[in-house]
Amino acid sequence: MGSSFITANFTPLVKLITVMMTEQSLLTKYPMTEVTKQMIASKDMLAKMMEPTGSSDSSKEVILMCLNNLSMSKKVAKLLIKGINQYQVEKVTKYLKLLTRFLRLNDDFKLARIEWTLGVPQLIHKKQFREKTY
């Protein structure tokens, strides 16, 4: 249980949800409705699960839910970028550690994750020649 001084430990619950969403054998045996999937994948719920807390850390499981899941990867990438843009150093370091874990996931969307979080390098080259000769 949580109080005003201690946050509740929801890590086991988040781990269970992660396993339920990622394991194909469980999904075939116990299918989830679309409403349930949308509720779990909503950006408000993900933002709460990704928040840096003291003892419980459910954000690693959220990162694992991004494996082979394009829409979840987009949402988590946005949350990581917003978390890195905060001013509190303790939170920024945690989000940077999560970003490295997020970028190390090996699947078909690895390049897209790198582009979303780090950007796409573009060379800008302007030719500025003098038109007037003296």
The number of folded domains in the chain is 1
Q: Does the residue 125 lie in any domain?
A: no
In angstroms, rounded to a whole number, what is the distance separating the alpha carbons of residues 65 and 52? 18
Q: pLDDT for 82-104, tens place per residue?
A: 888 887 888 888 888 889 999 99
Map residue 67 onto helix, strand or coil: coil
Query: In terms of pTM, does the model score above 0.85?
Result: no
Q: Does the residue 65 lie in any domain?
A: yes
Q: Does the residue 66 lie in any domain?
A: yes
Q: Does the residue 24 lie in any domain?
A: yes
Task: Find out whether 73 and 106 touch, Cβ atoms under 8 Å.
Answer: no
Q: Does the residue 127 lie in any domain?
A: no
The percent of residues in the chain predicted with pLDDT above 90, rounded, is: 17
Q: Does the residue 67 lie in any domain?
A: yes
Q: Does the residue 1 lie in any domain?
A: no
Outline where the chain has alpha helix (H). Answer: 11-22, 24-29, 34-40, 43-50, 59-64, 70-84, 89-103, 110-118
Give the structural domain span for 57: 11-117
Q: Which pLDDT score is estimated for 74?
A: 92
Q: Does the residue 101 lie in any domain?
A: yes
Q: pLDDT for 24-62, tens place per residue?
A: 788 888 888 888 878 888 888 888 777 766 555 677 778
